[in-house]
Structure 1
Amino acid sequence: MGKQKSYETAKEQETAVLVAVTRKTQPEEKTREYLDELAFLTETAGAKTLKRFSQKLEKPDTKTFVGSGKLAEIKAYVKEHDVNMVIFDDDLSPSQLRNLETELEVKIVDRSLLILDIFALRAQTAQARTQIEMAQYQYLLPRLTGLWTHLSKQKGGIGMKGPGETEIETDRRIVRERISLLKEKLKEIDKQNFQQRKARTNLVRVALVGYTNVGKSTIMNLLSKSDVFAENKLFATVDATVRKVVLNNVPFLLSDTVGFIRKLPTKLIESFKSTLDEVREADLLVHVVDISHPSFEEHIEVVNRTLEEINAGDKPILLVFNKIDQYREQEMEELNDMGEGAEKPTLQEMRATYMAKMHNPAIFISASKRINIEELREELFKRVSEVHYQRFPNNLPPEE
């Protein structure tokens, strides 16, 4: 036997360029921020960003998403630097995908495919893997014609996990059959989950929600004294995790759910219906916000919109601003850049801001630095005990 080639297992890190098309009225700062998020998604998926391209258009080009001049610029850079793929910050139509692959001759990944890929990497349970596989097939179905030709030339990498590795002969009929099978499988999982939730109906249920990477899993670990996976990457948590927590002798169930993000693929929301039931059926939502992020207000809006989409917009909400230690550092850097000296804002000063008045009360914490966690516990206890004693009036605590 001849010596086996090693290039299939020893893969180099994939390289990418990022592309965003924005309206002419959108500020440069906002475009830069959106590309920052796309770069973070790319890094989370395991690739290295080499360059960013952006173009202001009234609407994306129907054939190639970007204009001909910008496309030529991207093509020249991709060839010169031997780039593996081009990632777009929006969803591409099947025809745009085909045209771009023909023109650029590299792998084309749009925002939905990138997010689906990260979910495929992160999924641990059979339920999450089934949900993601179905979302991937639903994404691929209208794109089969152009995509399979391209996939035949690929060996792994971003956008190639799960269904992407299916035989090229796979056609629409087989994919539709697979989607039907996965839907049936998810129905069974839904039934099992419903029975599990029914068995614990009486306990008060609290769900952590928020934009991705705001620190929900760290808060979950703090409150439940458990060890839920947490790291500084987008979508570190895909599977819903439920833990029993007891505060001052009052028990409740705390769930850590998948983070939301702008332009979250609709198919993914549909596929994650059973996971998001933890949110829909909760008695209280703890909306965690990364206050150190420059666009935290937009993130709040994205989460609120997504909650409306999954019919959970009317739930009682406790707003928790996390990462106040990083917010202080950021504020200080900005003041120093302006040549001014100032002390870091105190908790009292933060509570007096408009942010605190958005919800009363709003809690300001740093989960990683254990700052002001006791106030969070106290407010949670107050909210949870109200529901608990309504549900179990015979368990009222003795009067002092």
Structure 2
Amino acid sequence: MGEVSRGARALVICPDIRGQSYELDAQSRLEEAKGLALAIGIVIAEAFVLPVRQVKPNLLFGSGQVDNIRIQCEQEEAELVVVDGSLTPIQQRNLEDKLARKVIDRTGLILEIFGERAATAEGRLQVELAHLDYQQSRLVRSWTHLERQRGGFGFLGGPGETQIEADRRMIRQRMSQLRKELEQVRKTRALHRARRGRAPWPVIALVGYTNAGKSTLFNGLTGSDVMAEDLLFATLDPTMRAIELPGVEKAILSDTVGFISDLPTQLVAAFRATLEEVTGADVIVHVRDMANPDAAAQKQQVLQILTDLEVIDAESGVSEIPILEAWNKIDALAEERRAELVEIASHDDKTVPISAMTGEGVEHLLQRIDALLTQDSRTYAIELAAGDGMRSAWLHQHGQVIEEQSIDRDEGPVRQLSVRLTPKEFGRFSAL
């Protein structure tokens, strides 16, 4: 059985297992599976939901169903079968034998996407760790990349891939090394966050379900060219850019990886550091795709991950970091639904209808972010020595100077300023 490359024709199968509870209905899960397959350049020959009355430990599907899948593969000239579910190593191997084709499950598919999308050294470390964790029980692909530079991750093939058995000990050693390197990355990121905490600029984190439009909004706000295709998982590494707001001279906007339902546990652990950027934010903007029929279920997934990251308190459901919902893609809604959302949002200062694509509502979103960042502002009376140009310039740059006057004192002239600052900014000023 040869390697399968991008452009491979595939059958996408969504098992609907009797008695198993799912966040989304079968058709929505199938659509998401198709989106995942398209994101890695797979050509979908056929996609369907397959009811499973009873899980077969050796194949997942019944033998008759497997025969039908093989026939469909032949009819559709499909060289790959994507199963939108979790396959055990034995099920995967047996299905490959029975179908005489490559078979990958949901975790393998997401890992393949992550392997292609990860752009930074940290992203690559995280992907490789998750990949090894997933593959160590399977040992069905080459691990020559552990000894030399390789061209890609190993499900759909790439330069340097040959089919040889891996040495478990080598995999464990490599995983141990990766964990140490990732721990160092986390410490470095924590230091960066601490440094930003001392810096005068607040951080705004964009979060949301994958493909909700975060990167499109990010590009529109920053004039950046971060990858923003209509693909699931278009962004994996947090990207940061500076933006200006009416009452804040400078803020840092952070674009994060998209969330997804049933993210395999190996990936949750491996990508924790990427999502940790959110925990250091001053404001979180939850970008929602309101044109998606599963928008409500997707929102719950995002809130659950924010709870797992301890951004939202598990007991009270309250977040210490203000969360603003950007109701995106209103340009894709029917007029009646759009008017309904605009009406709801007009009575809720935590929601803003927008279209990241057309720019509609984005100015209002920026005003709301600005209001959240400056809501704790108060006026401070500050007295400076006449020659203290550095601290005076800082106040003019980072605060709103309402009044300023010079006064002659016995010990010399001083400047009295009335300045509007947030407590955080005042704390930074006091440390100067």
Once the 2 structures are TM-superposed, how far is the Cα of residue 124 of structure 1 from its aligned partner? 1.1
Match status 1:351 vs 2:342: yes
Quote the residue 2:391 is aligned against: none
Quote the residue 2:65 is aligned against: 70
Quote the residue 1:4 is aligned against: none
Matches within 5 A, 1:214-233: 214-233=212-231
Quote the residue 1:119 is aligned against: 114
Relative distance call for 1:126 and 1:161 in structure 2 (3 A) is farther
Matches within 5 A, 1:1-400: 13-24=7-18, 30-58=25-53, 60-144=55-139, 147-148=140-141, 159-160=155-156, 165=161, 168-202=164-198, 203-250=201-248, 251-313=250-312, 314=319, 315-328=321-334, 344-345=335-336, 349-353=340-344, 360-386=349-375, 396-398=399-401
- Counterparts of 1:389 and 1:72, CA distance in 2: 72
With normalisation by structure 1, the TM-score equals 0.83
- Counterparts of 2:6 and 2:376, CA distance in 1: 54
Paired residue type of 2:257: V
Aligned length: 370
Once the 2 structures are TM-superposed, how far is the Cα of residue 116 of structure 1 from its aligned partner? 0.8
- Counterparts of 2:115 and 2:6, CA distance in 1: 20
Once the 2 structures are TM-superposed, how far is the Cα of residue 378 of structure 1 from its aligned partner? 0.7
- Counterparts of 1:72 and 1:242, CA distance in 2: 50
Contact 1:244 / 1:254 at 8 angstroms: preserved in 2?
A: yes
Paired residue type of 1:275: T
Select the structure of larger CA radius of gyration. Answer: 2
Relative distance call for 1:389 and 1:102 in structure 2 (3 A) is farther
Which structure: greater strand fraction? 2
Aligned-CA RMSD value:
3.3
Per-residue CA distance 1:150-200 (angstroms, 9 max, x = gap): x9xxx9897245899376242211111111111111122222222222211
Contact 1:204 / 1:388 at 8 angstroms: preserved in 2?
A: no
SS in 2 for 1:289: strand
Quote the residue 1:334 is aligned against: none
Relative distance call for 1:12 and 1:184 in structure 2 (3 A) is closer
- Counterparts of 1:264 and 1:139, CA distance in 2: 13
Which structure: greater helix fraction? 1
Among all aligned residue pairs of Structure 1 and Structure 2, give the percentage whose two residues are the same amino acid: 34
Relative distance call for 1:191 and 1:11 in structure 2 (3 A) is closer
Per-residue CA distance 1:27-82 (angstroms, 9 max, x = gap): 9x932221111111111111111112323235533221112221111011123433
- Counterparts of 1:346 and 1:51, CA distance in 2: 32
- Counterparts of 2:32 and 2:190, CA distance in 1: 35
- Counterparts of 2:26 and 2:337, CA distance in 1: 32
Relative distance call for 1:187 and 1:295 in structure 2 (3 A) is same
- Counterparts of 1:124 and 1:296, CA distance in 2: 28
> Mean Cα displacement is larger for which, 172-181 or 307-316?
307-316
Q: Segments of 4+ in structure 1 off by > 4 A?
A: 8-12, 23-27, 155-158, 161-164, 387-391, 393-396
> Mean Cα displacement is larger for which, 259-268 or 184-193?
184-193
Per-residue CA distance 1:338-378 (angstroms, 9 max, x = gap): xxxxxx2386532334x777x64310010111111111111
Contact 1:351 / 1:362 at 8 angstroms: preserved in 2?
A: no
- Counterparts of 2:402 and 2:338, CA distance in 1: 32
Contact 1:21 / 1:60 at 8 angstroms: preserved in 2?
A: no
Relative distance call for 1:224 and 1:171 in structure 2 (3 A) is same
Per-residue CA distance 1:62-121 (angstroms, 9 max, x = gap): 221112221111011123433211111111111211221221121110001101101111
Once the 2 structures are TM-superposed, how far is the Cα of residue 305 of structure 1 from its aligned partner? 1.5
Relative distance call for 1:312 and 1:59 in structure 2 (3 A) is farther
Q: Which runs of 5+ in 2 are unaligned?
A: 145-150, 313-318, 383-394, 404-432
With normalisation by structure 2, the TM-score equals 0.77
SS in 2 for 1:194: helix
Relative distance call for 1:101 and 1:195 in structure 2 (3 A) is same
